[in-house]
Amino acid sequence: MTETIHKQVITSDLAPKAIGPYSAGISAGQFVFSSGQLGLNPSTGELVEGGIEAETKQALTNLKNVLEAGGSGLEYVVKTTVFLKDINEFTKMNAVYATFFTSEPPARSAFQVAALPKGASVEIEAVALKR
């Protein structure tokens, strides 16, 4: 017997609205896929002030809120991808990241990219299991 898997768009008032033709997240089968989250304040749509640490904290908070809206959470993340404007800020980003994934952290890749939307320093996306 073949099971039909449906996808569902995920939105959250606690995360920034998409700034292009994409969804903040998609739920499909037993997985939740997030779009990359920037350090945007969900209320204003502007980058938070305070540099890479503040942006990382906000990006991960936004990611948490998208995942929770999709029936998941940070504890169910199996893979993240981190995009950095400057790989030399990896250590600062990593220190904040470690406070969100305190045990059994997910697999992760991190890359320096030429540029990120809105001049952001960091963008983080995830794949997670549903609860």
Strand stretches in 19-76, DSSP E: 25-28, 31-34, 37-38
- Give per-residue pLDDT as tens, 38-81: 999 999 999 999 999 999 999 999 999 999 999 999 999 999 99
> If pLDDT is split at 50, 70 and 90, which confidence band does 19 have?
confident
* Domain-wise residue ranges, the chain: 7-129
Q: Taking the CA of residue 4 as centre, how many other CA atoms within 13 Å lie in the half-sphere pointing to its CB?
A: 2
Question: Would you tell me how many other CB atoms lie within 10 Å of the CB of residue 102?
Answer: 9
Q: In the CATH scheme, what is the code of domain 7-129?
A: 3.30.1330.40
